[in-house]
Amino acid sequence: MQKRCAIVCVDDDEMILDSLRHELMAHFDGRYLYESALNAEEALQLIDELVAENIYIILIITDWVMPGMNGDEFLIKVHEKYPDIRAMVITGYADLIAVSKARNKINLCGIISKPWKSDELIRKVESIVGSKYIN
């Protein structure tokens, strides 16, 4: 049996989540599950549920500036519990120095500025997930 894989997107803007889902599904088709959360707390719960269902999370794509808990705090919590999960930040506001300082604590594999270009998003996601996770 092949392992089911998921990409989790986290942003407080539903339009951003819809855009990410649309672009990822258009490119990767049914290769992965695409899950989303509107805040970090919801995302942490979702991640626990996916892991409990034996679904391997190959990538988290998250906003950096969110109400309640910022992307760095969120990704540090994820990394402490699930150190193998890779992360990518999409942001319009992040201090790139702060992002770079957090890189080692959060398994950060990429940063994209909002608004992003679809080809840049897909190229970075492909470079992170690689072909070994194709199911």
**Local confidence band at 100 (pLDDT 50, 70, 90 cut-offs):** low
Structural domain boundaries, residue 52: 5-129
The CA–CA distances, whole Å, from 9 to 1, 6, 88 equal 26, 10, 9
CATH assignment of the domain containing 78: 3.40.50.2300
> How much is the pLDDT for 56?
94
Is residue 64 one of the residues assigned to a domain?
A: yes
Alpha carbon distance 36, 43 (integer Å)? 7
> How much is the pLDDT for 1?
44
Is residue 88 one of the residues assigned to a domain?
A: yes
Listing from the earlier edge strand, what are the strands of the sheet with 33-37? 33-37, 5-10, 56-62, 87-91, 108-113
Domains held by the chain: number: 1
Is residue 134 one of the residues assigned to a domain?
A: no
Is residue 39 one of the residues assigned to a domain?
A: yes
pLDDT tens column, 9-45: 999 999 999 999 999 999 998 889 999 999 999 999 9
pLDDT tens column, 58-90: 999 999 889 999 888 999 999 999 999 999 998
The whole-angstrom distance between residue 108's C-alpha and the CA centroid of its chain comes to 10
Is 60 exceeded by the pLDDT of residue 4? yes
At residue 107, the 3 state secondary structure works out as coil
Is residue 92 one of the residues assigned to a domain?
A: yes
Alpha carbon distance 86, 95 (integer Å)? 20
Taken in order 108, 59, 8, 93, is the CA torsion positive or negative? positive
